[in-house]
Amino acid sequence: MKNKKIVLAYSGGLDTSIILKWLANQGYEVICFVGNVGQKEDFEAVEKKAFVTGASKVYTEDLRKEFVTDYIFPALKGNALYEGQYLLGTSLARPILAKKQIEIAKLEGAEYVSHGSTGKGNDQVRFELGYYALNPNIKVIAPWKDSGFLAEFKGRTDMINYAKNMILKLLHPKNALIAKMRTLCILVMKQAFLKIHPSVQMMMCLLFQIH
């Protein structure tokens, strides 16, 4: 397993930071890919975190123009809705992220790619179908479907405790149970103890303004 290259879709958040460390401990040479699709991030800080956590290389790619012209505009023109009612948000960014990740894997001669999507939504399918469509021979490491990973991390609490035992500080504890995903077209926030009705989520999406 030693020195096998893997390209990880990396955000700098809790899940992908833990996955980066876990992959490195499994003997992979981890190359991180950070895709800028409009999220407000300190990308220099994200890159630094990736290197400190064990990445051998980090690609930070500005995908905003292509995201707007080739993905957002066509979706708006086609009135694209999930199940006829749910606005496409983070899901719309997955294909372009998968595309760039496969390009980096080819550039680096990596035979593996990885993502941090859980089984709670459809993101695993979106990423992996994108990978296989662009490179049918690519090998996908999906930690949230790996028995060894699941035995060690049963949820975010286990990941937080793992992070606390590491030398570096992966995230601020008060934000650990809040997941935030932002692109040029949407902002989604998930809190462990708060559930929002889909109709309210729709209204929040419509009221969201890009600054």
Q: Where are the domains positioned within the chain?
A: 4-207
Q: What is the residue whose two structure tokens read 């929040």?
A: 204
∠ at Cα 130 (15, 126), nearest 5°? 55
Q: What is the pTM of this model?
A: 0.81
**pLDDT tens per residue, range 39-83:** 888 999 999 999 999 999 999 999 999 999 999 999 888 888 888
Higher pLDDT, 189 or 181: 181
- Asked if residue 163 has pLDDT above 80, the reply is yes
Mean pLDDT of 24-46: 94
At residue 179 the predicted structure's pLDDT band, cuts being 50, 70 and 90, is: low
Query: In angstroms, how far is the first alpha carbon of the chain from the final one?
Result: 45
Which residues, at least 6 apart from 75, have a Cβ–Cβ distance to it below 8 Å?
88, 92
Model pLDDT for residues 92-146, shown as the tens digit of each residue: 899 999 999 999 999 999 999 999 998 777 889 999 999 999 999 999 999 999 9
pLDDT band at 185; cut points 50, 70, 90:
low
The fold of 4-207 is Rossmann fold (3.40.50)
Distances (CA, A) of 36 to 28, 62, 94, 164, 166: 25, 5, 12, 28, 27
pLDDT given for residue 45 in this prediction: 94
Tell me the pLDDT of the chain averaged across its residues: 82
Which residue shows structure tokens 């590491």? 166
Contact (Cβ atoms closer than 8 angstroms) between residue 123 and residue 158 = no
